Structure 1
């Protein structure tokens, strides 16, 4: 039982670090996209720096944190495999697979930025940066409320929260454009 608590502690440390990396890397993508608006003599140097930063965040923070999260989570399931009979953990595992796909998609973007290929504009990256928030809220609610939570309400709430984040991002974009004039 004592090992289970260590795995749980490191699982929490892992997912906190993983989400920190997921939030930070897409913020770097935003800055990389905004470098196109800088004077030409600065643009290439800034883009190289942001590409390097995103590559380091991916390799040094995100990958190890994801591996710690998955490893400790699976070890916890190994010590308490009866938990797999509960519906909330099945939904959580599906969300984690989708989050891992998002993680790998970020790797694809890191490669494109390194090769200086066209990706998204800064607004699109800002929207992409909200996806981990939706995953975080969903996963934490599942882990805390477990089967008490009605999954349909959770899904509806996450969709509504995502729509709210989109509206906030649109308003922020409009405000920035207004202030630039």
Structure 2
């Protein structure tokens, strides 16, 4: 493997960790936001949610996708990603995760309008979805099952 591939891979892992940290934490904030009753708390959660979404979650997603693109370009000659079904399953799961990301941003705006838009129970279930995607993606990348 070339040095460039390893550097891009390192930055990709960092970006993925940052993105998932935000994907895990933002819906957790929604739980607390939906349970709060006073205006000061609502305003505080709105600021926290905006900063997390715009300042960490979006840049991390972009960095994840850009570095992934370069990893495929740099590694396909030796790894043959385009010949493997597990690779396309992983790409599909990442696509679903991108949709989840933007849905989470949509929900952030809905919470600004009405903090009790959804119950804390809904947010607790919603918060688990990225974990399932993460488990599946890691298994696909590490095990590389042959279908």
TM-score by length of 1: 0.76
RMSD: 1.3
Which of 61, 65, 68 aligns to 2:60? It is 65
The equivalences for 1:85-124 within 5 A come to 85-116=83-114, 118-124=116-122
- The answer for the alignment partner of 1:163 in structure 2 is none
- The answer for the alignment partner of 2:130 in structure 1 is 132
8 Å contact kept, 1:88–1:146: yes
**Would you say how many aligned residue pairs link Structure 1 and Structure 2?**
143
8 Å contact kept, 1:52–1:114: no
- The answer for the alignment partner of 1:155 in structure 2 is none
CA offset at residue 117 of structure 1? 6.0
- The answer for the alignment partner of 1:16 in structure 2 is 17
Unaligned runs of 5+ in 1: 37-42, 151-181
Spell out, residue by residue over 1:54-85, the C-alpha distance to the aligned partner (whole angstroms, 9 max, x if none): 11100111011111110111101111233111
TM-score by length of 2: 0.92
Which of 29, 53, 56 aligns to 2:51? It is 56
The structure having more radius of gyration, on CA atoms, is 1
Q: For 2:42 and 2:144, how far apart are their aligned partners in 1? A: 44
